[in-house]
Homo-oligomer: A and B are copies of this chain.
Amino acid sequence: MPKLKIILAYDGTDYSGWQIQPAAHGKTIQGVVTSALKKLTGEEISLVAAGRTDAGVHARGQVISFNTASRIPVERWPLALNSVLPEDIVALKAEKVHEDFHARYDARRKQYRYTIYNERFPDVFSRRYSWQIPHPLDRDAMAKATKYFIGYHDFRSFCASGSSVKNFNRYVEQSKISYRGNFIYFDITANGFLYHMVRNIVGTLVEVGRQHIKPENIAEILAAKCRQKAGPTAPPQGLCLEKVDY
């Protein structure tokens, strides 16, 4: 059966994350996309995603893969799928892939962006897609702090406790801050991410911006391999899965 790889964008605001949950926990992206695929093809399709985004987290470049016997030509897939998806999930691109392709296991690199809105009052238009911080933030200190994450590190201090992973080492290729007006963007690219890793890094960077933690302290926090040493977990709505490379 042919295998497809599809790029999805979604507004995660109204979802309990990617992964199918018991119904009481609310609708999920995976659940809604699976139903849409069923409507389109009549098949019970089992979906794999590159990143299992949490409740309230968004995606501009989520990648999914699945097998289908459908005879819809590959170039028509995005339009066809969008016709059965709700408006907060959009298929952007489809391609045929090798039968061994796996959206999660084959991902070599993922890029996330976290958006902070640094103003006294919330912005009604970006409230669903950013973390509003009313306090002044020292942007230079934050930029300096981002550099400590680059490279091969044990990120245990930035992993949610209770995670079942054994290997906490990840390679961070890019970790940088940029600005536009009152918006602060944190972009991070790595070969993989631990549970809540980006949000824990951002929570810590904001502590640096508020001058509660010094940029130099990041090295010690990493070395401590202890979640309690780092800052709090930033809220989900600022986070977006931008891109996955294979």
Binding site for B on A (CB under 8 A): 9-11, 58, 60, 78, 82, 87-92, 121-125, 127, 129
Check B122–A90 contact: CB distance below 8 A.
Answer: yes
Per the bound structure, the CA–CA distance linking A90 and B123 in Å amounts to 8
CB distance from A62 to the nearest CB of B (A): 11
Check B87–A125 contact: CB distance below 8 A.
Answer: no
Q: List 5 A-B contacts (CB under 8 A).
A: A11-B127, A58-B124, A60-B125, A87-B122, A89-B124
Per the bound structure, the CA–CA distance linking A129 and B91 in Å amounts to 20
Check B9–A91 contact: CB distance below 8 A.
Answer: no
Chain B residues near A122: list those with CB within 8 A.
82, 87, 90
Q: Top 4 A-B pairs ranked by shortest CB distance?
A: A11-B124, A9-B124, A90-B121, A90-B124
Per the bound structure, the CA–CA distance linking A9 and B88 in Å amounts to 23
Per the bound structure, the CA–CA distance linking A245 and B90 in Å amounts to 39
CB distance from A154 to the nearest CB of B (A): 34
Check B90–A9 contact: CB distance below 8 A.
Answer: no
Chain B residues near A90: list those with CB within 8 A.
121-124
Check A88–B121 contact: CB distance below 8 A.
Answer: no
Q: Which residue of B lies closest to A12 (CB)?
A: B124
CB distance from A8 to the nearest CB of B (A): 9
Check A123–B9 contact: CB distance below 8 A.
Answer: yes
Check B121–A58 contact: CB distance below 8 A.
Answer: no
Chain B residues near A89: list those with CB within 8 A.
124
Check A121–B91 contact: CB distance below 8 A.
Answer: yes
Chain B residues near A125: list those with CB within 8 A.
9, 11, 58, 60, 129
Per the bound structure, the CA–CA distance linking A58 and B60 in Å amounts to 24
